[in-house]
Amino acid sequence: MTKQKAEIGVIGGSGLYSLLSDGKAIDVETKYGKPSDSITIGELAGRMVAFLPRHGSKHTIPPHKVPYRANIDAMSQLGVERIISTSAVGSLRANLMPGDFVFPDQFINFSHGREDTFFDGEPEPVTHVSTAEPYCDEMRQIAVAAGDTTNVKYHNTGTVIVVSGPRFSTKAESRFFRSIGGDIVNMTQYPEIALAKERGMCFLGITVITDYDSGVDENRSIEPVTLDVVNARMSANVGKTRALITEIIKTLPEKRSCSCKDSLVNAAVSVK
């Protein structure tokens, strides 16, 4: 059987459970277990795309139980070189408003207990990959241009704080995250991005602000987030998210001119 191939992988977060209208669903096995769900492969804007809903198509997998290694390994088995990852985020800044999109350029990880590397000791070599620039700059620039074309309100940079969840932050945590330079909060961006880096993949985060986390100090009238708020905001934005993804895929150059594919060069420890 010929294995299906795709060049771009889309991992759908809360609200985005399907993408390809006439795709073919396949089950991919990995040595890290099963991915979150079947992966749908099909054409979008003339390119072969693999789509995977991060929490499963019925949203049954919580953020701390997502099989991150299996998801990224499955994508790399399919030949995917670039990942577009969508997710819901809370805002830590008054000017980052619900409904806005943010294309992050940095993360700070506060999640814990997750299997966050493919290089887990023998037979794998000890490997230290740089995450100084975790997001693909080339893809982020293309996302910014797509944001203009599709007329969505977006922010072209941002630092995402990643927490384990599944609970939302306390007010003190929100204040702390803001004080250390966080702009938005999310539960899934890590280790997805670090694992993609270990496979030399490009990674673009498309995040949608659904709420103000536990409120922002500048405006005491803002209520802390609830799940109802997140769901309503995600549903309202799913059309825009699809339009953005389609435009990005349409305009992505076929060949990568970024340095993402070189992430493993000189990264393995070798004692002579």
Residue number with CB closer to Zn ion (74 or 260):
260
211 has catalytic annotation: yes
Instruction: Rank residues 55 and 199 by Cβ distance to Zn ion and give the closer one.
Output: 199
At residue 142, φ and ψ (nearest 5 deg) are -65, -35
Rounded to 5°, the CA angle 226-230-233 comes to 135
Q: Is 134 helix (H, G, I), strand (E, B) or coil?
A: coil
3-state SS, one letter per residue, for 207-229 = EEEEECCCCECCECCCCCCCHHH
Nearer to Zn ion, 8 or 70 (CB): 8
Smallest separation, CB 83 to Zn ion (Å)? 10
Shortest distance (Å) from residue 204 CB to Zn ion: 8
In the complex, least distance from residue 206 CB atom to Zn ion, rounded to whole angstroms: 15
Closest by Cα among 174, 159, 170, 165 to 103: 159
CB 248 within 8 A of CB 143: yes
Closer to Zn ion by CB, 100 or 138: give it: 138
Smallest separation (angstroms) from Zn ion to the CB of 44: 19
Q: How far is the CB of 250 from Zn ion (least distance, A)?
A: 17
> Active site residue: 22, 120, 213, 228, which one?
213
> Rounded to whole angstroms, how far apart are CA atoms 53 and 28?
14
- Taking the least distance from each CB to Zn ion, the nearer of 187 and 202 is 202
What residue ranges bind Zn ion (CB under 5 A)? 136, 202, 258, 260
Set 27, 105, 211, 217: catalytic member: 211
Asked about 137 being catalytic, the answer comes back as no
**3-state DSSP call for residue 94?**
coil
Rg (CA), the chain: 18
Strand 154-155 relative to strand 106-109, pairing: unpaired
Q: Of 177, 198, 261, whose CA–CA distance to 7 is shortest?
A: 261
Give the Cα separation of 111 and 51 in Å (integer).
25
Question: Would you name the residues annotated as active-site residues?
Answer: 211, 213
